[in-house]
């Protein structure tokens, strides 16, 4: 199963076959400065943790849910950051939203960067929780 997931991630990554020309043509500096790259990365970095964290907090405060034993909001905050790791659905939606290879590559770079940073921040929060 893990090999299948890794193969799917590779097939949809900007480093898969067919993207070499785009990398050469646009350059990494240009891709990182694209508004689409920044928007996707910020969406994963801020939108997911804010949405998950706020929804969890509201559910607990409204007595719709309760935190498990030995779990506090620092744990929820760290887990919310891990929610920013998004490959499968993010890649699928990007493929539907951006038909051109240039825009799609920029979105994929944003997905990779945002997911990596969200995972690192979530790990740091959970490590200290």
pLDDT in tens, 79-99: 999 998 988 888 889 999 988
* Distance separating alpha carbons of residues 24 and 2, to the nearest angstrom: 31
Radius of gyration in angstroms for the set of CA atoms belonging to the chain, rounded to a whole number: 17
Question: Which residue segment(s) compose the domain that 117 sits in?
Answer: 28-128
Question: 20 lies in a domain?
Answer: no
Question: 18 lies in a domain?
Answer: no
- Look at residues 93, 78, 90, 96 and name the one whose alpha carbon lies nearest to residue 115: 90
pTM for this prediction: 0.72
Residue-level pLDDT at 61 = 95
Question: 43 lies in a domain?
Answer: yes
* Distance separating alpha carbons of residues 111 and 42, to the nearest angstrom: 9
Question: 95 lies in a domain?
Answer: yes
Question: Domains in the chain: how many in total?
Answer: 1
């Amino acid at each position: 199963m893990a090999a299948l997931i890794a193969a799917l991630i590779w097939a949809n990554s900007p480093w898969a076959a067919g993207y070499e020309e785009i990398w050469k043509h646009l350059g990494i500096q240009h891709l990182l400065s694209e508004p689409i790259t920044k928007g996707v990365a910020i969406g994963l970095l801020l939108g997911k943790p804010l949405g998950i964290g706020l929804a969890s907090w509201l559910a607990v405060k409204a007595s719709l849910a309760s935190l498990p034993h030995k779990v506090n909001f620092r744990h929820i905050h760290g887990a919310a950051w891990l929610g920013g790791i998004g490959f499968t659905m993010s890649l699928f939606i990007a493929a539907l939203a951006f038909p051109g290879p240039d825009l799609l590559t920029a979105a994929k770079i944003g997905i990779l960067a945002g997911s990596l940073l969200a995972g690192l921040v979530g790990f740091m929060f959970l490590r200290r929780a």
